[in-house]
Amino acid sequence: MRDVVDEVLPELADRAVDEVEADPFERVGDGTQFAQPALYCASIALWARGGSPRADFIAGHSLGEIGALVAGGSISIEDGLWLAARRGELMQEVADAGSPGGMLALLGDESVTRRIAAAHWLTVANDNAPGQLILSGSSEDLDAAAEEARAERLKTMPLAVSGAFHTEAMAPAVPEFRAALARIDVRPPRVPVYSSVTARPFDDIRSELADALVKPVCWRQTLFALRDEGAERFVEVGPGKVLKGLVRRTLSEVEAAVLSSREMAHAA
């Protein structure tokens, strides 16, 4: 992950090390305080390597909202890194202070998934695509839900996260993140940037970014909103192809590509 950042924005990689007081790229698996700034840097570097392409609309999934606002001109690259590092640090602190928690993807019948979530006091934290919901909550409840889901012939996939993200369990992180947001310069975006919590263009950027810590990611609804506004081509920017897959599962009539892959030349 660091290779692409060093190639395109080496000063950003160095700044990330300074912000985290460690190399976040080497410690991505050690907690969200490292993963979030590393993923942010990789996404911004891939966007820059692709020519910093403009778009008619921009959206980001969870942490990706910060990168989306950078691409839309609302937040500087440097402030975006500082926010990603602060966000990761605060979320990790809350996760470490509470009971063990995590997130679990369930693939299959959504009505069954929602029934299982309610039965085990779990939150549907991500509505990613048809047949793909992410549950969030305590590790004990997630284990019980996974066992029931397998009995119901649902596919289960634990996420490599360290806490019950996008639930009220993260509420202690919100005040300090609001304070961090108050310290940066936020400008109106050049183009509509959609919140993946409201599935609408950001209205109050600082407030909505803070709310996103405790509210579900409504990615499916965001894709529908973008489609309804006329979006016909969706280009994912960042390491991996997960969002491209979610677009294809949700919107069969649009084109989906990845800026960071071999498709870059066709997507730019």
What residues are labeled active site?
A: 62, 166
Decide if 133 contacts 125 (C-beta within 8 A). Answer: no
Tell me how far the alpha carbon of residue 113 is from its chain's centroid.
Answer: 21
Q: What's the DSSP call for residue 136?
A: E
First to last CA, the chain: 21
- Measured CA distances, 184 to 105, 164, 169 (Å): 34, 27, 26
CA–CA gap between residue 76 and residue 79 (Å, rounded): 5
Among 35, 8, 11, residue whose Cα is nearest residue 23: 35
Q: H or E segment at 39?
A: helix 32-49
CA angle 157, 163, 166 (to 5 degrees): 85
